Amino acid sequence: MPSASQAAPYRNATLPAAKRVKDLLARMTLEEKAAQMMCVWQRKADTLVDAGGNFDAAKAKAAFQQRRGLGQVGRPSDAGKGKDARGMAELTNAIQKFFVENSRLGIPVIFHEECLHGHAAIGGTSFPQPIALGATFDPELVEALFTMTAAEARLRGTHQALTPVVDVAREPRWGRVEETYGEDPYLVSRMGIAAVRGFQGDSRFGDKRRVIATLKHFAAHGQPEGGTNCAPTNVSLRVLRETFLYPFHEALKQGGAISVMASYNEIDGVPSHANPWLLRDVLRKEWGFKGFVVSDYYAVYELNYRPESHGHFVARDKKEACALAVNAGVNIELPEPDCYLHLVELVRKGVLQERQLDELVAPMLFWKFQMGLFDDPYVDPDEAARVVGCEANAELALKAARESITLLRNEGNLLPLHPDGIKSIAVIGPNADRSLLGGYSGVPKRDVTVLEGIRARLGKRVNVLYSEGCKITIGGSWQQDEVTPSDPEEDRKQIAEAVKVARRADVIVVAIGGNEQTSREAWSPKHLGDRPSLDLVGRQEELVKAMLATGKPVVAVLFNGRPISINYVSQNVPAILECWYLGQETGHAVAAVLFGDFNPAGKLPISIPRSAGHLPAFYNHKPSARRGYLFDQVSPLYAFGFGLSYTSFAIENVHLAKPKIRRDGRTQVLADVTNTGGRAGGEVVQMYVRDKVSSATRPIKELKAFRKLFLQPGETASVAFDIAPEQLAFYDIHMKYVVEPGDFEIMVGSSSRDVDLQKVVLRVV
């Protein structure tokens, strides 16, 4: 005879998930509900695994002896002491089996992981950072990448990815720019939608190859005061809605994201984790969000004061922080049981109501049912071993790396290099022979440096020479808290050695930029990554000058997590490639572009300023915002949407299908695009809109559509961009979202620069 719980309706897989949730909630004690709102991460070592990273039944029984269960387990990949895909799948199975069999009601746990640019685990396929993916302007590619990552993560036991980041990066001093898709809300929204669709598919989860996507950081995390991580965001309500909330709204509406992570920062004096207007009024009531909100790591604690990081001081203690977060609508506290340990006490004292816990627990249970975790919670270790890090996934990562590279300068058509005309090449620089994955990375099965990629491409036909040239910082690991600047004397000795090497070569490739320490998440005062300067760190500019002084042709290859003000390089180095961080296939991708096997088609997803003093530098500024500077230009060094090619394109015959429409009407802008050069290549055709006269000021231009084309020499393709109310509407002087009558400039071209755009005027009546 089955037990009462085994015969309960919530055990019946044929019932709808909502009915199963209702039945299960009615059976749960207050303590069991509170347990579903908690997670363990680093405490896995004390509660779930032994010193070798294997499941420890004795520890688990001691830690969870009251059989109340647990909501989530954070990052099982880092508990395994170097376990491969098979080992991690076996570990998650063992942990899951414990909670299913040793909690009173058999409620499974959700395992969450970091999947910013691939599953951050041993053996996971690593592809370009989001800022580099933004340069592809290719949502279909982004969807394919995260479909691949979802499979790699899910097959190892993961259920939720703490990705994608849909912050709009309008502050280049901020060390987390690399995690974003750039400075434009429309571009960020399209990439965010694609990432969500890749992770979740149709959200049925039947094939065990999809995971829950988590939009972060909600909201306005990308323009912190002074460029310092977690600082207040000081923006108007109109800017908040039109710039920072827009990508979240679109990724929820069109992508169907199931989870949202609240942000560390405050908006108008209210931290996001204590903001009912943000998490309840806007997210749930206005937008109709039915999923669940997770806290950022330790952010509920920081509503009070977390000594190792910072505090908001809106709560007197952890109990008050718990109440604030629950009232705001934070469903689960990550990463450890901390403030939410007080949930039961606060309910019993009447500070909180049990129905509030019911409301927050229900959607998390719903998705546990919807993912099939109550019915079939285990994964196949053999399948994980077969798929994770496979060659097909590596090929997709290589495709993404090639498409991310942006050609900024190519004087005299120095690129592509022709191996038949080169006897020797010098590969110089601190980024020439080092791992360049960026933050939130795993350990891929292979990690090809620039030097290795060039040597693999050229074989024995060309003599490939190498010298480090100088260092950026000592060590340079993302995990390494202390940042030690390089020694000037040692750098100059290395530069002298590099000159000797470079003089023996026919051409020089110098790999410079930043490293994982000079741009990263500043998660504490001891682990910083924001900078007041955007200049090259250390003696890198001296190295470039020394290379140019040899008289040899020089190609600069940049690797960095945020824009760098490369004024000298831009003015003096004839060929420049912006690579950001390209993932495990870095060297192969760079070599393919250097030697013409692939024609670069990347476009800048963020403006490159002339200096930190030129900030803000985003292109979609207000009409009065860029009047000029004494003794300097006000324009960026390189504009949003800019990128060159080894071929040339002509955009012609720009016209409107209907030059006049009603406010609720629709039309199209059309154009012909021709590859006028001698190579096949890609071009990103971009459409911008400007409301010429409006009741509240509008940006001088806003990206509203784009399309990436690959054309053969002489080939012409036609593009048509829809223009509807959603491309023209804004929050007017009364904060109503409307289309106002009047003239709109519709601009079509190859970048946000006026010189690259053709304009037509649309009349709206």
**Residues carrying an active site annotation:** 296
To 10 degrees, what angle do helices 391-404 and 586-594 make? 50
When computed from its CA atoms, the radius of gyration of the chain, rounded to whole angstroms, is: 27
| Cα–Cα distance, 564 to 183 (Å, whole number) | 15
Q: 85: Cβ–Cβ under 8 A, 6 or more apart, which residues?
A: 121, 122, 123, 152, 155, 156, 381, 384, 385, 387, 388, 389
Only one residue has tokens 């963020």, namely 606
| Cα–Cα distance, 280 to 218 (Å, whole number) | 12
CA 476 vs. chain centroid, Å, equals 21
Is 609 buried (19+), middle (13-18) or exposed (0-12) by CB count in 10 A? buried
| Cα–Cα distance, 363 to 344 (Å, whole number) | 19
| Cα–Cα distance, 313 to 317 (Å, whole number) | 9
| Cα–Cα distance, 627 to 650 (Å, whole number) | 31
Query: Are 42 and 79 contacting, i.e. CB atoms less than 8 angstroms apart?
Result: no
| Cα–Cα distance, 144 to 153 (Å, whole number) | 14
Only one residue has tokens 């109709």, namely 288
Query: Are 609 and 615 contacting, i.e. CB atoms less than 8 angstroms apart?
Result: yes
Q: What is the 3-state secondary structure (H, E, C) of 334-398?
A: CCCCCHHHHHHHHHHCCCCCHHHHHHHHHHHHHHHHHCCCCCCCCCCHHHHHHHCCCHHHHHHHH
Residue 213 phi, psi (nearest 5): -90, 150
3-state SS, residue 623: coil
Question: Given the DSSP bridges, would you call strands 667-675 and 649-656 parallel, antiparallel or unpaired?
Answer: antiparallel
3-state SS, residue 213: strand
CA 571-577-579 angle, to 5 degrees, is: 135
Name the E strands within 647-741: 649-656, 660-661, 667-675, 681-691, 702-711, 716-723, 730-731, 737-738
Is 487 buried (19+), middle (13-18) or exposed (0-12) by CB count in 10 A? middle
Peptide bond into 335 cis (omega under 30): yes
Is 613 buried (19+), middle (13-18) or exposed (0-12) by CB count in 10 A? exposed
CA distances for 7 relative to 22, 24, 105, 367, 377, angstroms: 15, 12, 12, 21, 18
How far the first Cα of the chain sits from its last, in Å, is 73
Q: Whose CA is closest to 699, among 95, 60, 185?
A: 185
3-state SS, residue 85: helix
Q: Provide the 10 A C-beta neighbour count for residue 329.
A: 23
Q: What is the DSSP string of 494-554?
A: HHHHHHHHHTT-SEEEEEEE--TTTSS---BTTB----S--SPPTTHHHHHHHHHHTTS-E
Question: Given the DSSP bridges, would you call strands 554-559 and 575-578 parallel, antiparallel or unpaired?
Answer: parallel
